[in-house]
Amino acid sequence: MAHASAANPQPSRRRRCLVSGGAGFIGAHLVRHLLARGDHVTVVDNLSTGRRINLPEFHEQLRFIEADLSHALGAFGKGETFDELYHLAAAVGVSLIIADPISSIETNVSQTSALLRFAAERGPGGAPAPTLIASSSEVYGKSTAIPFREDDDVVYGPTTKSRWSYAMSKALDEHLALAYGQQRGLPIVVARFFNTVGPGQVGEHGMVLPRFVERALAHAPIEVYGDGSQSRCFCDVRDVAAILPTLMASPAARGRVFNVGSDRVLTIAELAHAVIRITASKSRVAMIRYSDAYAAGFEDLLRRKPDLTRVRETVGFEPSITLEQTIADVASWISGGKGSPIDWRAVSHPETKR
Ligand SMILES: NC(=O)c1ccc[n+]([C@@H]2O[C@H](COP(=O)([O-])OP(=O)(O)OC[C@H]3O[C@@H](n4cnc5c(N)ncnc54)[C@H](O)[C@@H]3O)[C@@H](O)[C@H]2O)c1
């Protein structure tokens, strides 16, 4: 796999990167890569689902701003510019959207709009700044055209089901980002993440793997929604985060959408059994009806698998960490008390590297 730090030569001066949502699960792993290659990194995060502990308490090339993204962008001085913008801030996941649809939709749409307006004039010398926005496999909606290709049609349920608003808000983000690319010349890349898992992901917002691992470590029943035959592809966050700076740096990626994930398919029941096996748990699998887990009429997607041809051909992406390894690492992170998922001592300051 092409790792950013190896693929990108050191620039003559250090890049200044802005990472929105950088205290979140994927964001923190991305920040690790950017700091390791010597960048100056500004993180803006309101800590709504992110955790300050995900980032180093002190690193001389990291600036942490706890704020809503749109407020922070408005407060930057006029002369403050960035070489690269990574937009990961969002209300993440279907459970959060169902619990609080208004602020979730507003977050996903208005924060992205603010970020793109800012990006259009805050690159070096006031030029548009290269920008990557995080999208989601949810954008495909309930399409059954497996595997999902970036140019496929998307299929959504009615607007009376708030479940689809996450997909629609992310799709609108993509439209807006691509429109900034076309109309304002913004160098834009859209990364559609499929299920991303690994150390640092917490289960409170319905994320499946940490939820399963926590139950397994407690030898408690693992709740699988539906009959467990719905399938997903899980990719380790360390693989996902590593490819983002490479996508950003690739001229061939500009103005395009990329699936980012793994194409190894697993049913949710298989995932539960894998977790039980790897953690040597005495848990059993308990099937829960969707109507008991979510509101009646909840539509889950039976299958979701990315076609990775485009990201493979453009930047040589290949997931390198097996799901078994990820499960073991998540279990040891959770057993260890869910501290920072990253050993920041290993991310040396560039000064000490020379
Ligand atoms: N984890 C996955 O499997 C997955 C899958 C598809 C897409 N994504 C996308 O990847 C991105 C990162 O997701 P994640 O899994 O790291 O989730 P996360 O919840 O850990 O990260 C999102 C971060 O954004 C911050 N945030 C939210 N609203 C904000 C605001 N208004 N201003 C500033 N910060 C704000 C949160 O505090 C959090 O730190 C999101 O855009 C998400 O939609 C994730």
Q: Would residue 167 count as lying in a domain?
A: yes
Q: CATH code at 93?
A: 3.40.50.720
Q: At 271, phi and psi to the nearest 5?
A: -60, -45
How confident is the model at residue 293, as a pLDDT? Answer: 67
Its domain, for residue 177, covers 16-197+235-262+303-319
Residue among 26, 109, 205, 244 whose CB has most ligand 1 atoms within 8 A, to mutate:
26
Number of domains in the chain: 1
Tokens 């076309």 found at: 182
- For 127: left if phi > 0, alpha if psi spans -120 to 50, otherwise beta; the answer is beta
**Is 330 inside any structural domain?**
no
Tell me, yes or no, whether 160 lies in a domain. yes
Read off the pTM: 0.94
In a domain, 270, yes or no: no
What is the CA angle 86-261-233, rounded to 5? 140
* 166 given a catalytic annotation: yes
Q: Any bridge partners for residue 287, and if so which?
A: 224
CA of 108 to the centre of ligand 1 (A): 10
Positions of the chain with pLDDT lower than 70, given as ranges: 1-12, 93-94, 290-291, 293-298, 348-354
283 alpha carbon to ligand 1 midpoint, in Å? 30
**Is 94 domain-assigned?**
yes
Q: Looking at 166, 180, 225, 294, which residue is catalytic?
A: 166
Between the CA of 50 and the centroid of ligand 1 the distance, in Å, is 8
Backbone Cα Rg of the chain: 20
Q: Whose CA is nearest to atom 43 of ligand 1?
A: 92
Residues 6+ apart with CB under 8 A from 285: 221, 222, 224, 228, 269, 272, 273, 276
Does residue 20 form part of some domain?
yes
Q: Is residue 101 part of a domain?
A: yes
Please work out whether the CB of residue 212 comes within 6 Å of at least one atom of ligand 1. no
Query: Ligand 1: does its nearest atom lie under 6 Å from the Cβ of 246?
Result: no
Q: Measured between alpha carbons, how far is 207 from 92 in angstroms, rounded to an integer?
A: 10
Query: pLDDT tens digits for 5-45?
Result: 444 444 457 899 999 999 999 999 999 999 999 999 999 99
Tell me, yes or no, whether 288 lies in a domain.
no
Residue 68 Cβ inside 6 Å of ligand 1? The answer reads: yes
